[in-house]
Structure 1
Amino acid sequence: MESTKESIHVKISSEIAKNIITGQYSNCSLPTEMELSSHYSVSRNSVREALKILASKGLLCSKQKAGTKVTPRSEWNFLDPQLYEWFSELPEMEGVIAKFIRMQKLLIPEACADAALNATGEQRVQLSRVFQAFSTHIRESENDLLSSKPLLSSFYRTLFIASNNELFSPYAKILDILFHSKDYQLSQPTINTLEIYQKIYDSIMIADEMSARKAARKLFN
């Protein structure tokens, strides 16, 4: 029963968040808990819990006597992966996603450098397994973008984890979500770019921080 109750909170918070992101509550005010409870046909406690979820993501703030308000867009937590999981395909998120994609030029080289420095032996073994699967696929099915996406996503996710840099965790989750979005445009990995990935992988395996960073930057030239 608790699981069902929790799913109600998440569902309501998702619906309210969508209305916020698409500008339905553009006047910065939000319906009251009673109004939301009536609209969604749920208890006020369920609404209250849903609003707490949205407040934790920076979309809402509550002040005594002022009620619950929609916060300015500049205060939203765009490093919260759940926002992308819910709404990565909304037109209103396209600008945010485009900015995130540009940030990859900075994030991925540093994640590679940190992985070269910090990856454990077990993580290097896992990265090796993932890279071998990815590289084999590219050699055998270079033009199959659809099946390349999950393999490349797995490589990046494993790489970010191997960086052991806590600050990269939300970026890794967001990138993984975007990779699985049908509208996310991914540069087709080719035999030529595979040489770059091979250099990244080799550099991480021998703990060569500078070479890993330098190789990763070539992905975005």
Structure 2
Amino acid sequence: MVEHSRSSKTFSRRSLHGQIAYDIGVRIVRGDVQPGTVLPNEADLSVQFSVSRTALREAIKVLAAKGLVESRPKTGTRVRPRDEWNMLDPDLLAWQFATQPIERLAKDLFEIRQVIEPAAASMAAERATDTQREAIARAFSDMEAAPDGDASIEPDLRFHQSILAASNNEFLHPLGALIETAMATSFRITNNEPGALQISLPRHRAVRDAILAREPEAARQAMRVLLEDAVEDLRRALPHMIPTP
């Protein structure tokens, strides 16, 4: 299982109800509490966690907002089916990567990226402001200056998020924050391979150049190639992860 740093965009565990939401949420995501299960009543849970009912209710509200549970009068709080969970919720992503092997998640992650990021790169080439183009160029320069390993993750992630922002699509931009945990985890695997960063730099440079030159189709194709190569990098890092089509 791959360790990851907690995203600043995930729900705070500093509050008491945040910690309870985390504890219950991880149990659900890990499979300790199966869909359809009715959680213990409020009084029992309060005793179990040694907290007030007020803190417990706030925690349940957090989990309900993520689609993990639903509360109804007289029937109690029930765990919802997995296909009703808000899978792009940052906490849910973080909890899945913290409790499940990346092999189960990486294929779906890359399919999402292959759908979204080439289109975002094309839009960025058409719509990016000068400031946004500078942000993309700066992120790439920071990638060039970074050593292999964890130091390259932040500029790599910033490069991709800057492109989503430069699409100037109100729905694409926040998606970068939603999948931050998943992207950072995959970067941590591939970027730690010896020489991985130097190999990937020309692919990123092609995306940057196409966006700065305002060439939408070239940007789309360059991003498609970058992601196809990234899938191959991940296959090499985790040879049993993704079945070859």
Asked if TM exceeds 0.5, the reply is: yes
Q: Which runs of 5+ in 1 are unaligned?
A: none
TM-score using structure 2 length: 0.77
Q: Which runs of 5+ in 2 are unaligned?
A: 1-11, 230-245
2:212 corresponds to which letter in structure 1?
M
Aligned-pair identity (%): 31
Q: Deviations over 1:111-154 (max 9, x none)?
A: 211222222221111212111121344xxx4xx23322222112
Shift of 1:43: 0.8
Cα RMSD between the aligned structures?
2.6
Distance 2:173 2:150 in 1: 25
TM-score using structure 1 length: 0.84
Q: Check if 1:186 corresponds to 2:190.
A: yes
Number of aligned residue pairs? 213
Q: Deviations over 1:153-207 (max 9, x none)?
A: 1211222222222333454124432344499532654545322211211111132
One of 30, 34, 43 as aligned partner of 1:34: 43
Within 5 Å, give how 1:87-166 maps onto structure 2. 87-91=96-100, 94-137=103-146, 141=147, 144-166=148-170
Shift of 1:65: 2.3
1:23 corresponds to which letter in structure 2?
G
CA contact (8 A) 2:109 2:182 kept: no
Secondary structure of the equivalent of 1:29? Answer: coil
Secondary structure of the equivalent of 1:24? Answer: coil
CA contact (8 A) 2:106 2:186 kept: no
CA contact (8 A) 1:109 1:216 kept: yes
Alignment match, 1:46: 55
CA contact (8 A) 1:21 1:92 kept: no
Query: Comparing 191-200 with 150-159, which one deviates more in the overlay?
Result: 191-200
One of 10, 15, 33 as aligned partner of 1:7: 15
Alignment match, 1:173: 177
Secondary structure of the equivalent of 2:151? Answer: helix
* Pair 125,5 (structure 1): closer, same or farther in 2 beyond 3 Å: closer
